[in-house]
């Protein structure tokens, strides 16, 4: 089943959209993330993609209260600043549907593997990629690992993957077809795609390439694509 995930990114208590994860490049900002979440749920969103940007930058979850309020409204997957197994488990026990781990997955792969076994289908491994190498610590540190190399560490477990193409994230200039195609085809488990989605056609292409879902942020908030049209892809 294909899923459309509206992005609710939280920074300084506000719902924002950044260009390529740069806190100095704010494309959109509104005061109340909970009301934004309510808006998307009322529009028909079956799940939300919630990121604690402060947590991603500072290495520690910062907006837990807001996140748990949103968790009362809908199914949500949460990432940003989940740098310990304890925090991940706390969120999962507090109403969060799925946790997204990226930096933690590389720093403590065995612990994350155990978490995935303890919480099947509730852990998402984040594969954030710049110039075809995985980046961590809020996208600021580049590793020498390819996205497929990282994903293969967890592909035997009941997990999903979040593939974010940082090169195009927030630019609203479209997605890199061959990059997505290669990663999705190489993995057994579900892959959700994020970054660069700027049109219905982009989302449709991602579905056709075999992904299980797509995260859409800036293009939605800036009116480049209509959510109602995107939802049609869930039914096709």
pLDDT digits 0-9 by tens, 141-191? 889 999 999 999 999 999 999 999 887 776 667 789 999 999 999 999 999
The DSSP H or E segment spanning 18 is strand 14-19
Task: Give catalytic status of residue 65 as yes or no.
Answer: no
Q: Considering the candidates 128, 165, 190, 202, report the single residue annotated as catalytic.
A: 128
List the beta strands (DSSP E) in 95-197: 98-101, 123-130, 133-136, 141-142, 160-165, 191-194
Question: Is the CB of residue 146 less than 8 Å from the CB of residue 132?
Answer: yes
Question: Which pLDDT score is estimated for 18?
Answer: 87
What is the rounded CA–CA span in Å between residue 193 and residue 160?
A: 11
Domain range for 94: 3-235
- The number of distinct structural domains making up the chain is 1
Least confident stretch, 66-75, 106-115, 168-177: 168-177
Task: Tell me how far apart the 2 most distant CA atoms of the chain are, in Å.
Answer: 42
Whether the pTM exceeds 0.85: the reply is: yes
Task: Give catalytic status of residue 31 as yes or no.
Answer: no
pLDDT digits 0-9 by tens, 13-55? 999 998 777 788 888 899 999 999 999 999 999 999 999 999 9
- CATH number of the domain within which 147 lies: 3.20.20.70
What is the rounded CA–CA span in Å between residue 226 and residue 228?
A: 5
pLDDT band at 196 (very low <50, low <70, confident <90, very high): confident
Q: Considering the candidates 9, 52, 165, 202, report the single residue annotated as catalytic.
A: 9
- The 8-class DSSP code of residue 166 comes to T
């Amino acid at each position: 089943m294909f899923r459309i995930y509206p992005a609710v990114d939280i920074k300084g208590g506000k719902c924002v959209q950044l260009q390529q994860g740069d806190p100095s490049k704010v494309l959109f900002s509104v005061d109340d993330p909970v009301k934004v979440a309510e808006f998307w749920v009322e529009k028909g969103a079956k799940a939300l993609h919630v990121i604690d940007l402060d947590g991603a930058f500072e290495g520690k979850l910062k907006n837990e209260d807001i996140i748990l309020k949103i968790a009362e409204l809908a199914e949500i997957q949460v990432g940003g600043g989940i740098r310990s197994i304890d925090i991940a488990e706390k969120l999962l026990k507090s109403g969060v549907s799925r946790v997204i781990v990226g930096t933690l997955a590389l720093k403590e792969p065995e612990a994350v593997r155990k978490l995935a076994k303890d919480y099947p289908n509730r852990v998402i491994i984040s594969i954030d990629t710049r110039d075809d190498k995985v980046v961590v610590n809020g996208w600021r540190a580049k590793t020498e690992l390819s996205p497929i190399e990282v994903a293969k560490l967890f592909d035997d477990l009941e997990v999903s993957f979040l593939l974010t193409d940082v090169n195009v994230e927030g630019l609203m200039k479209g997605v890199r077809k061959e990059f997505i195609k290669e990663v999705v085809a190489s993995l057994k488990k579900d892959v959700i795609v994020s970054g660069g989605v700027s049109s219905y056609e982009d989302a449709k292409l991602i579905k056709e390439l075999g992904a299980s879902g797509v995260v859409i942020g800036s293009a939605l908030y800036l009116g480049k694509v209509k959510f109602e049209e995107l939802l049609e892809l869930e039914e096709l």
